[in-house]
Amino acid sequence: MDGAPSSERTALSSDSTITVSGFLPPIPGPLPFFYDLFTFRTDGGGTTVIAAIAVPVGKLRRERNDGRVRYQFDVRLVLADTARHSVVHSVDSAFVNVERPLSGQHLLHTYIEIQAPPSPSSLQRVIVTDAARPGVGQLYNEPFPIPDYSGPELMLSDIAFGLPDATDGWARRGNMLALLPTSQFPESSFDVYYEIYNLPKGTPYETEILIEPLDDSGDGEGSVRAFFSGESEAREDDSVAELRRVDSALPKGPYRFTVTVRNMADGTSTSSSRAVEVRGWRGGTTMVPAMPRGLGQ
């Protein structure tokens, strides 16, 4: 939730073992990767949790497959509620076949989605393993309170980010997003997706998007601010999905991205923020759909 790069999260040592009904094996070898988690309201109750995951090609073993080059990795997302002693998990497999080897800095990125009940005491575990090298993988583990979006007040979901003009990726409410972890942004335009909750149809509202460089000056120089206004076109559950495009490239460095929504009818407002790191890498990216291998509780 804090947008920190995965290198700053807790990586379990090579002799660590996770057991989810006997489903997850020990992971003895390293495979660094990047990830972020995003949350949204689930239709009918609960919370949808999305993990955006990116793996540098240079960390994977390439294989030959019918004259082409194949890269494959498995991704696992586990949400454990320590108070209720319950676990929700999913395991997906992602692969891509290309004509020639990709640059070692090229990012293969994918996502994994599960639904879970809100909980202030949950833990998240994200695991990536190299499908071509059994026993090679990495696990990141940290507390992850799952928010409750069921209240009546004006609320915002998390802010999710992706590359523009996506033809494949995470699909939600008529939108498509090629999700990227917030620590791996290129110097280019990108898409921003968020949802507004409890904004009845026809309600006038204003959205402010603020992008602030997180440097040491503290003078606000280089900040970008944009405003949008209109009337809510909410669904029957009074929720609004918005996909915005940031067209201007950002220089390398850390930024805080804040979305603020104001209900102009009653004066209430709500905000959601996320830290983004613009890396400016040139290795390129490939969105790789993940195929579910297992889902359960």
Half-sphere exposure of residue 245: CA atoms within 13 angstroms, side-chain side: 10
Mean pLDDT of the chain, nearest integer = 86
Given a contact cutoff of 8 angstroms between Cβ atoms, the answer to whether 151 and 140 are in contact is: no
Which CATH number is 6-296 given? 2.60.40.3880
What is the rounded distance in angstroms from the CA atom of residue 5 to the CA atom of residue 140?
11
pLDDT tens string 103-116: 998 999 999 999 99
Q: Is the pLDDT of residue 93 over 70?
A: yes
**Two structure tokens written together for 231:** 């009337």
pLDDT tens string 214-238: 876 555 577 889 999 999 999 999 9
Local confidence band at 139 (pLDDT 50, 70, 90 cut-offs): very high
**Two structure tokens written together for 46:** 């609960």
Question: What percentage of the chain reaches a pLDDT higher than 70?
Answer: 87
Sort residue 173 into left (φ over 0), alpha (ψ -120 to 50) or beta: left
pLDDT (0 to 100) of residue 188: 79
**Distances in Å between the alpha carbon of 177 and those of 31, 36, 73, 149, 284?**
25, 14, 21, 22, 17
What is the rounded distance in angstroms from the CA atom of residue 24 to the CA atom of residue 74?
11
Q: Which residues pair with 88 in a beta bridge?
A: 79
Q: Is the pLDDT of residue 17 over 70?
A: no
Instruction: State the average pLDDT over residues 57-75.
Output: 92
Give the start-to-end residue ranges of the domains of the chain: 6-296
Local confidence band at 28 (pLDDT 50, 70, 90 cut-offs): low
pLDDT (0 to 100) of residue 281: 67
pLDDT tens string 246-286: 887 788 889 999 999 999 999 999 999 999 988 876 778 89
Window from 7-11, 99-103, 110-114, 142-146 with minimum mean pLDDT: 7-11
Its pTM stands at 0.86
Q: Is the pLDDT of residue 23 over 50?
A: no
